Amino acid sequence: MQEKQLKVALLVSVGITVLLVAGFVVESFSGSGSSEIRKVVGASGIWMLCENPDCEAAYEITPEEFRELVRAKGVMLGPKVMEQLAFVCKECGQETAYRGMKCQKCGALFIQETVAGDYSDRCPECGYSAIEEMVKSRKKK
C-alpha cells in the first residue's frame, strides 16, 4: 500500500513540476498559442480524486484550499513531498484523496502517471496531452 502511495506521490510531484515549467514558458514567451497554455496552467480549480474503492469521490477545490491542505500537512513542495501527498477525502474521511487532472478534450478525470518517453498529462481515456500540443505548436514556429 505504501509503495502505491509513493508512486502516486511521485506522479503528482512530476505533474506539479510540469505545470510550473509550463507556467514559466507561458510567462517567458508571448505569441500565438500562449492563450491555450494559460488555460491549462491557470485552471480555476484543483481536482481531488479518492482512491478508496468504497468511495471513489471526485471533487474540485480552489487553489487556496489545496495550499491550505498542503500547509496543514506541514509539507513544502519539494523532494520530501512524495511521501505525504495523500489527503483526507472530504467525502469518506480517509486519507486516500490525491490531486487529479481533468482532460481538456474529453473531460475524463485521472491521476497523472509518468510513463517513460511520454507526457505526464496524457489522458488514459482519449490519449490527449495538452503538453504535447504545446510542444507541437512551438516546433511549428
The residues, ordered by sequence, that sit 6+ positions from 88 with a Cβ below 8 Å of its Cβ are 94, 95, 97
Cell numbers representing residue 21 in the block? 515549467
pLDDT band at 77 (very low <50, low <70, confident <90, very high): low
CA–CA distance, 93 with 55 (Å, rounded to integer): 10
* pLDDT recorded at residue 48: 94
The counts of H helices and E strands in the chain are: 4, 5
**80 vs 116: CA distance, rounded Å:** 22
pLDDT given for residue 12 in this prediction: 56
Give per-residue pLDDT as tens, 84-129.
589 999 999 999 999 898 999 999 999 887 778 888 889 999 999 9
CA 103 and chain centroid, separation: 10
Using a 10 angstrom Cβ sphere, with 0-12 exposed, 13-18 middle and 19 or more buried, the burial of residue 94 is middle
Nearest to 120 by CA among 20, 6, 4: 20
In 3D space, the residue among 48, 139, 63, 62 whose CA is nearest the CA of residue 98 turns out to be 48
User: In the chain, what percentage of residues exceed pLDDT 90?
Assistant: 42
**Average pLDDT for residues 56-69, to the nearest whole number?**
93
Q: Does residue 61 carry a pLDDT above 70?
A: yes
Q: Which three cell numbers stand for residue 54?
A: 468504497
Pick from 30-44, 60-74, 79-93, 110-124: least confident: 30-44
Q: What is the reported pLDDT for 85?
A: 82
Residue 135 reports pLDDT greater than 60: yes
Are residues 77 and 97 in contact, defined by beta-carbon separation less than 8 angstroms?
no
- 127 touches 29 (CB < 8 A): no
What's the chain's average pLDDT? 75
